Structures are given as structure tokens and as C-alpha cells.
Amino acid sequence: MDSILAHKLRSTLTLLGIIIGVGSVVLVGAAIEGLGSYADQTTAKAFGSDSYLVAQVAQVGRATRAERAAKLRRNKRIRPEDLSYLVAATGDQIQYSGYRVRFDDVKAGSLTFEGAMVVGASASLAEIRDVAVEQGRFFTDQEEQNRQFVCVLGNELITTLFEGQSPLGRTVRIRGFDFTVIGTQEKLGSTGGQSQDNQVHMPFHSFSRLYGPEVSMPIFARARPESGLSLASALDVTRVALRTRFKTKPGEDDNFDTMTPDSIRAFVDQVLGLISAIVVPVTCISLIVGGIVVMNIMLVSVTERTREIGIRKALGARRFDIMLQFLTEAVILAASGGLVGLALGVIAARLLGLVLEVDLPVTWPYVALAVAVSTLTGILSGWYPASKASRMDPVEALRHE
């Protein structure tokens, strides 16, 4: 420690590579964990916790044009008649809702919200996708069957069209039709860069009156609580019903697509695993550079203290004693840099989380990795200088000026 503290500036410059490397590993690890948590939260917001999706094409990740074209050729279109069939066949066990989307302007008085996400769905969508209503209520089955022009607004539309005041009972205009606002949605934020607060939910049949029939549409579904079915069991019931509807032969693949929250999370975990496998080793390169610098400084230290080594050997120090002395110094150097880098990485993660308004948790695996790698760097980079010092001839060392 005396040797390290005697050359404070040299020791600090020596450790910069290790400090930057360890800090980078911790920060990258926190970012990866934060992305995973964010993906889970946004999946729950956009998809619902226990719901699943049935569609002609429902692909997680980016499909090639050929794959998508093949599915469009093979898979059956999902039409309103298929939704009616599923409700009639399995509706006592499972809730279903068609789901149609258009982007359109929404007006209130002289104000206009451009490019709102207009959603046509069944009344059951509120339970299927855990749609959180802050004020008022979601529309009912009766309002859907009667094709009433009612709607539920997202937070951005309320702020823009009603300047943050309660819009309940007031009217908005979409494609020339007046809709009465009966509810407001809780602020959700964004999912994958797409805002979830610019939505307007309206009854399915009212949506069809505005935009006409759909060629193919997705269907959201969820097991009824009283049915006792798990997500997987409910999905199997829906698949069997649709296979019967589409006359799919035994042994053949489904001629429709399904998607669950688990499949989305698995894809996200796969992407994050790939990022981790590439980025973490790259950030460790600075640790290798830091190790080279530590080795260089330790070689300088051995040269400067040659006479000291000769005196110690003359007084009976063994090769092991000399080697342990310099190896310990190298490990203390690297471990000190690792601890400083760890502290800076934690501080950077906290500050970045506050700026971006996301949670960037520093997890123990990445902390252990950073400290272990920095310590190992000290051992590896100090081994050769320590070995060189231990092999010195005491007579030659004592004569060194």
C-alpha cells in the first residue's frame, strides 16, 4: 500500500482502463436488466397478463417477406363469423373480443388530435387486456349490440382536446360521427416506441359502421375466471374449436397463428441474451487494456525496487515471498480499480435511470462478474512481473543502482 500511495498519480492513471471497463460492465448489465423489466411491463400493458391472440398472421420478431407470404397463403382469414363461432362454441369458458385498429383524427370543438389510434373491440376487451379505466367506465355488451356511439379516451387525447379537464359526458367527432365520452384510460406510457395513451376505444359494431368490414382481424381471448382454465388450456380449447371450424386434418399444423405473452417474453429474452453475449465481452476489452497497463507499471516497479529485492533475498526471503509481495500489489491495484469502477457504474446507472425515467437495477451477477474479472486481471497481469522479481540473483540485485 505504501508503494501504491507513494505514486498516487501513476496508480490512478494505471487503473483508468480497469475503472472504465468495470463501470461499463455494470452499466451495460443494468441497462440489459432494465430493458428486460421494461419489456415485461409494456407487454402486460399492451397485451394483458393472461390473454392470448389468434390471427391469420401473428409473428413475434421480424419475419422475412417469404415467411409472411407463405403464412398469408396457407392460413385462413379470421372473420367476424369466426368470432361468433368461437363465442357460441366455447364462450362459456373463454372471453373473446375482435380487435380492429385505424389511425384517424379526433376532434372536439375547434381542437383536433391527429393520428389517434382508434380501436374497435368487444366490451369484454376491458377484462381480457386489463384495460385500466381511471374515470367513468368501459362500454357494455348492450351498448355494443345497439351500435351506440360511445368511447373511452386515452390520456393524450384528454390533455390535448380537453386541456386536462374531465371529458365525461362530452362529445368527440370521428369521421363525421359524434361519440359520447363515457370513460378515460389510465396513463400507460409507450410500448416499443408506440404511445399507448393516444387510443380511442369504441364498440366493435360502431367501428364497423365507420370503417366498413375487415378482410381479416385478430381476436384477443382469455379464460373466464370461473372456468379454472390456465392460459395454455384455454388456448388449446380455442385451437381445437378453430381447427374444427377450418376443417384442419389431424396431424396437420394449425392453419392460423397464435401468440401469448410468454412467446413475446421468450423473444425479448433471446434478443437481450444476444445483446449481452456481444456487448459484455466488448466492454471487457478495456479490462484487457487495463491489465496490460498494470503489467507494464509492475515491471517498472520491479526495476525501481531491484535493490530492495536483493536485500530481502540476502536476509532469507524465498522466491515465494518475493512473488507474493508483487502479486499482492498487482491484485490490490486491480481490485481497487474494480471497486472504484463498480461505484461509478452504480452511480451512472442511477443517474441515467432518473434522466430516462426508467428503472436500471444493478444486479449481483454483473457486480460479481465485474469484481471477479478485475481481480483476475490483477493476478494475470501481475504474475509475470512477480515471477521476474522472484528469479533475480541477490548479488546482482544488490549491485543495482
User: Among the listed ranges 1-10, 338-347, 357-366, which one has the minimum average pLDDT value?
Assistant: 1-10
Residue 54 lies in a domain: no
Domain closes at, from 255, 279, 312: 255
pLDDT band at 200 (very low <50, low <70, confident <90, very high): very high
pLDDT value for 92 = 92
**pTM beyond 0.85:** no
**Nearest CA among 168, 84, 156 for reference residue 114:** 156
- Whether residue 379 has pLDDT greater than 60: yes
pLDDT band at 285 (very low <50, low <70, confident <90, very high): confident
CA 62 to the chain's CA centroid = 17
Note whether 248 and 298 are same-domain residues: no
Number of Cβ within 10 Å of residue 314's Cβ equals 12
Note whether 120 and 239 are same-domain residues: yes
- The partner residues of 318 in beta bridges, in order of sequence, read none
Residue 67 lies in a domain: no
Domain closes at, from 201, 231, 255: 255
Note whether 155 and 277 are same-domain residues: no
Note whether 298 and 247 are same-domain residues: no
Note whether 284 and 377 are same-domain residues: yes
Note whether 115 and 204 are same-domain residues: yes
Query: What are phi and psi for residue 186, nearest 5 degrees?
Result: -65, 155
Residue 50 lies in a domain: no
Domain closes at, from 255, 279, 309: 255
Note whether 367 and 240 are same-domain residues: no
In whole angstroms, give the CA distance from residue 40 to residue 46.
Answer: 10
Do residues 66 and 291 touch, judged by C-beta distance below 8 A?
Answer: no
Please give the C-alpha separations between residue 395 and each of 272, 306, 326, 386, in angstroms, as whole numbers.
Answer: 59, 11, 20, 18
Domain containing 138 equals 76-255
Note whether 149 and 239 are same-domain residues: yes
Note whether 295 and 250 are same-domain residues: no
Number of Cβ within 10 Å of residue 193's Cβ equals 5
- Whether residue 16 has pLDDT greater than 60: yes
Residue 379 lies in a domain: yes
Residue 364 lies in a domain: yes
Note whether 285 and 178 are same-domain residues: no
More confident residue, 283 or 207: 207
Mean pLDDT over each residue of the chain, to the nearest integer: 84
Residue 60 lies in a domain: no
Where does 137-284 have alpha helices with state H? 141-145, 155-162, 204-211, 231-245, 261-283
Quote the longest CA-to-CA distance of the chain.
Answer: 104
In whole angstroms, give the CA distance from residue 183 to residue 194.
Answer: 22
In whole angstroms, give the CA distance from residue 118 to residue 181.
Answer: 14
Please give the C-alpha separations between residue 98 and each of 124, 216, 240, in angstroms, as whole numbers.
Answer: 10, 10, 19
- Whether residue 102 has pLDDT greater than 90: yes
Do residues 245 and 85 touch, judged by C-beta distance below 8 A?
Answer: yes
Q: Report how many domains make up the chain.
A: 2
**Nearest CA among 107, 111, 125, 115 for reference residue 201:** 125
What is the percentage of the chain residues whose pLDDT exceeds 90?
Answer: 26
pLDDT tens sequence across 251-279: 888 889 888 887 777 777 777 788 777 77
Please give the C-alpha separations between residue 287 and each of 70, 253, 305, 338, 341, in angstroms, as whole numbers.
Answer: 48, 50, 26, 10, 11
Note whether 231 and 85 are same-domain residues: yes
Residue 70 lies in a domain: no
In whole angstroms, give the CA distance from residue 365 to residue 113.
Answer: 46
Do residues 298 and 270 touch, judged by C-beta distance below 8 A?
Answer: no
| Dihedral angle over CA of 268, 271, 277, 283, nearest 10 | -90
Residue 82 lies in a domain: yes
pLDDT value for 65 = 74
pLDDT value for 90 = 93
pLDDT value for 268 = 74
pLDDT tens sequence across 33-75: 887 777 776 666 666 668 898 998 876 655 567 777 888 888 8
Note whether 322 and 197 are same-domain residues: no
Do residues 290 and 58 touch, judged by C-beta distance below 8 A?
Answer: no
